[in-house]
Chains A and B, each alone.
Chain A
Amino acid sequence: MSQFLEQIINGLVLGGIYALIAVGYTMVYGIIQLINFAHGEIFMFGAYIALMLITVFGIPFWIALPLSMILCGMLGMLIDLVAYRPLRNAPRLSALITAIGMSLALQNLARMIWSARPRQFSPEVLPTIFLSQNAVTLPGGASLPYRDVFIMVLALVLMVALNRLIYLTKIGKAMRACAQNPVAANLMGIRTNRVIAITFIIGSALGAVAGIMVGLREVVTPTMGYYKGVAAFAAAVLGGIGNITGAMLGGIIIGLAEVFGAGYISSGYRLAIAYIIMIGVIVIRPSGLFGKSTGHRA
């Protein structure tokens, strides 16, 4: 029973992390219809940047977190500016191949800079509340580390904030307009390119937070962007790509499915479960669980 409860907690925490990454995929897809493969790498860079800020520059965790978000946001904007913006009117295949190339380049850049060795936030540089032995014991004997509580709360707060941003602010309205019809939005005086850049910044900043969260629980490696990125992408597809609420729920579902699959089926198939869900959704219902039935998009 306690093991079951711990699995659920693990799944929810992982799901929150996936949801934060998935939002980045889905927002970009909603506006420019591009699968930003490099998003997983931005998430990985977020973890590494925070790690470097804390261990090399000795910056406290609470400052390193927003700083890493800002730096990653700029990285995301830069990627859009350099690689995707020139291809806005090119065939879709070109942009997709560019995204793959960007992902490949960034992942191996990270491998060159930080080597393939897995790294960790060492316990002495973190606030003591994040140490894994600091936990509440739930009824039934399951332990719930404060770290996991922090991750879940932060993920929830960011999600709600993002939701409010999109539905209540002027920039959010501009984003929704661009997602509906970029040409018409441009004619109405919305600077489409700026809105797209802001979308990239927000998505990348959220990705950076997710990267740091993974760093708190697991190790940081150059390939984590690829593995976690695919699972998060599966979450975005499951929720209906382009749909932000769907991405959040999809993240939770994929997180739970992955943890339970690894726990009760086989740990070797941890990632395969996300792939199976992803393929199943695309083949059976391409619009996802919560998407409008738009048929198959080109």
Chain B
Amino acid sequence: MKNQLTPKNITFGLFICFLPLLMYGIDAIALFLSHRNIYLGFPSGDYMLRIIVRAYLYMLLAIGLNIVCGFTGLLDLGYVGFYLIGGYTAGLLMARLGVNYWIALPLAVLNGALWGLLRGAPTLRLTGDYFAIVTFGFAELLFRIVKNEQWLIGGPNGLVRDIPPPSILGVVFNQNWHNYYHILILLILVVFIAYRLQHSRVGRAWVAIREDEQAAESMGINVSRYKALAFAVSAAIGGLGGGFVAQFQVNISAPFFEFWESILILCMVVLGGMGSIRGAMIGAAILGSLGEVLRPGFIIPYQFGGSRYLIFGLILILLMRFRPGGLTLRKAS
């Protein structure tokens, strides 16, 4: 694993950057054919672009979760908690206090990191199942608080309405393609940070902790410090995703941050292969878009609403059984 600009990585990056061109190309073809009375039944380019923005958002979150799950090998079942914190930090600051998005977003990131440390402090010594359970409980508690505390949030069921779009010098970023480039820039930033961390002293320390915590400690790695760093970075990326989604969705509410969202992101990381950044991105691309395509009413009839998550569950089981290293890695970590 070298940090190189291999042709494979460059192609992958270019594909991700120019995906909307492909989408608008398909849209143009569909439009052209519709003038000739041929209807493909293909969703419109704008709708596809929204799906892609969501897929990129999931890539960003999957990379963040991958830092704790993949690099340090701790199962985090409450990642959605940081997403929620980022979302509500940015959402409330912007909708209630009128703070500029470009100030609210870094605050969301910082708040995410802060909560990552707060949650990390009591869980530093925990491993395996117990860590998973505490993280799960943490996210569920946050979810209940947001859902119940109306005085804090201002709306029933954690509803924050009319989050204003960001703007620079009077240019308001409220189009789908604005959001596309916005998330793309954030994603590139996060991928860059994650790659640099993975191939640095810090990343090697994380992997050492994953492989054998005691051996790592006896080699002079300050396990607590590196774990805390992993929690903070991971949570900060979650907060970033939340901050973005607040302005992207315009209205956010509690069901948006339910426990299953955590599992979905975990599913992406596992599918791509834990511990691999490209794997997390591929997993997010597959499940993020698949999830949208499998939404009830589109291909699947409404009465089979649960089938989307049924498929995700089966993916987890089958992967662990037959390919525990995910799609990208050869052997189990």
- Known contacts A86-B321, A98-B321; decide if A286 and B316 are in contact (CB<8 Å): no
| Contact A104 B137, beta carbon cutoff 8 Å | no
| Contact B309 A102, beta carbon cutoff 8 Å | no
- Known contacts A111-B305, A279-B134; decide if A93 and B128 are in contact (CB<8 Å): yes
| Contact B332 A94, beta carbon cutoff 8 Å | yes
A254 CB-CB contact with B under 8 Å: no
| Contact B140 A286, beta carbon cutoff 8 Å | no
Instruction: Tell me the nearest residue of chain B to A295, going by C-beta.
Output: B125
| Contact B320 A101, beta carbon cutoff 8 Å | yes
Residues of A within 8 A of B133 (CB): 35, 233, 237, 278-279, 282
- Known contacts A93-B75, A112-B304, A272-B144; decide if A104 and B320 are in contact (CB<8 Å): no
| Contact B317 A268, beta carbon cutoff 8 Å | no
Give the interface size class of chain B. 35 or more
| Contact A112 B310, beta carbon cutoff 8 Å | yes
Residues of A within 8 A of B304 (CB): 112
- Known contacts A101-B314, A108-B313; decide if A96 and B324 are in contact (CB<8 Å): no
**Which of the listed residues B125, B128, B303 has the most CB atoms from chain A within 10 Å of its own CB?**
B128
Interface of B is mostly: helix
| Contact A91 B310, beta carbon cutoff 8 Å | no
A283 CB-CB contact with B under 8 Å: yes
Residues of B within 8 A of A180 (CB): none
**Contact pattern, A 50-65, Cβ under 8 Å of B = 1, otherwise 0:** 0000000000000000
CA distance A92 to B134 in the complex (A): 17
- Distance in Å: Cβ of A238 to nearest Cβ of chain B: 12
| Contact B324 A90, beta carbon cutoff 8 Å | yes
CA distance A34 to B317 in the complex (A): 15
Residues of B within 8 A of A105 (CB): 309-310, 313-314, 317
**Contact pattern, A 72-101, Cβ under 8 Å of B = 1, otherwise 0:** 000000000001001100111111111011
- Known contacts A104-B312, A104-B316; decide if A296 and B148 are in contact (CB<8 Å): no
- Known contacts A94-B324, A268-B144, A269-B144; decide if A104 and B309 are in contact (CB<8 Å): yes
- Distance in Å: Cβ of B128 to nearest Cβ of chain A: 5
| Contact B126 A296, beta carbon cutoff 8 Å | yes
**Contact pattern, A 229-270, Cβ under 8 Å of B = 1, otherwise 0:** 010010001000000000000000000000000000010110
Say which residue of B125, B148, B305, B333 sits within 8 Å of A269 (CB atoms).
B148
A109 CB-CB contact with B under 8 Å: yes
B50 CB-CB contact with A under 8 Å: no
Residues of B within 8 A of A275 (CB): 137, 140-141, 144
CA distance A87 to B332 in the complex (A): 12
A207 CB-CB contact with B under 8 Å: no
Residues of B within 8 A of A35 (CB): 129, 132-133
CA distance A35 to B148 in the complex (A): 29
A103 CB-CB contact with B under 8 Å: yes
Q: Which residues in chain B, 275-333, are within 8 Å of chain A measured between CB atoms?
A: 303-310, 312-317, 320-321, 324, 332-333
B270 CB-CB contact with A under 8 Å: yes
Say which residue of B126, B128, B144 sits within 8 Å of A271 (CB atoms).
B144
A276 CB-CB contact with B under 8 Å: yes
Residues of B within 8 A of A100 (CB): 77, 263, 266, 313, 316
CA distance A233 to B132 in the complex (A): 13
A184 CB-CB contact with B under 8 Å: no
| Contact B263 A104, beta carbon cutoff 8 Å | yes
| Contact B313 A102, beta carbon cutoff 8 Å | yes
- Distance in Å: Cβ of A152 to nearest Cβ of chain B: 28
- Known contacts A268-B144, A296-B126, A296-B130; decide if A222 and B306 are in contact (CB<8 Å): yes
- Known contacts A269-B148, A296-B126; decide if A96 and B132 are in contact (CB<8 Å): yes
Residues of A within 8 A of B321 (CB): 83, 86-87, 98
Instruction: Tell me the nearest residue of chain B to A277, going by C-beta.
Output: B137
A297 CB-CB contact with B under 8 Å: yes
Residues of B within 8 A of A112 (CB): 303-307, 310
Q: Which residues in chain B, 121-151, are within 8 Å of chain A measured between CB atoms?
A: 122-123, 125-130, 132-134, 137-138, 140-141, 144-145, 147-148
- Distance in Å: Cβ of A85 to nearest Cβ of chain B: 10
B238 CB-CB contact with A under 8 Å: no
Residues of A within 8 A of B73 (CB): 93
| Contact B313 A104, beta carbon cutoff 8 Å | yes
A165 CB-CB contact with B under 8 Å: no
Residues of B within 8 A of A271 (CB): 140, 144
Residues of A within 8 A of B138 (CB): 279
| Contact A101 B317, beta carbon cutoff 8 Å | yes
- Distance in Å: Cβ of B228 to nearest Cβ of chain A: 16
| Contact B141 A276, beta carbon cutoff 8 Å | yes
Instruction: Tell me the nearest residue of chain A to B147, going by C-beta.
Output: A268
CA distance A105 to B312 in the complex (A): 7
Instruction: Tell me the nearest residue of chain A to B148, going by C-beta.
Output: A268
Say which residue of B126, B145, B310, B332 sits within 8 Å of A104 (CB atoms).
B310
| Contact A286 B126, beta carbon cutoff 8 Å | yes
CA distance A102 to B315 in the complex (A): 10
Say which residue of B123, B127, B266, B306 sits within 8 Å of A298 (CB atoms).
B127
Given A100-B316, A112-B306, A275-B141, 16 extra CB contacts under 8 A = A91-B324, A97-B320, A98-B320, A105-B317, A107-B313, A108-B306, A108-B310, A112-B310, A115-B303, A222-B306, A272-B145, A279-B133, A279-B137, A283-B134, A297-B130, A298-B128
Q: Which 6 A-B pairs have the closest CB atoms?
A: A101-B316, A105-B313, A111-B306, A104-B313, A108-B306, A268-B148
Show the binding face of B for A, using Cβ within 8 Å: 73, 75, 77, 122-123, 125-130, 132-134, 137-138, 140-141, 144-145, 147-148, 260, 263, 266-267, 270, 303-310, 312-317, 320-321, 324, 332-333
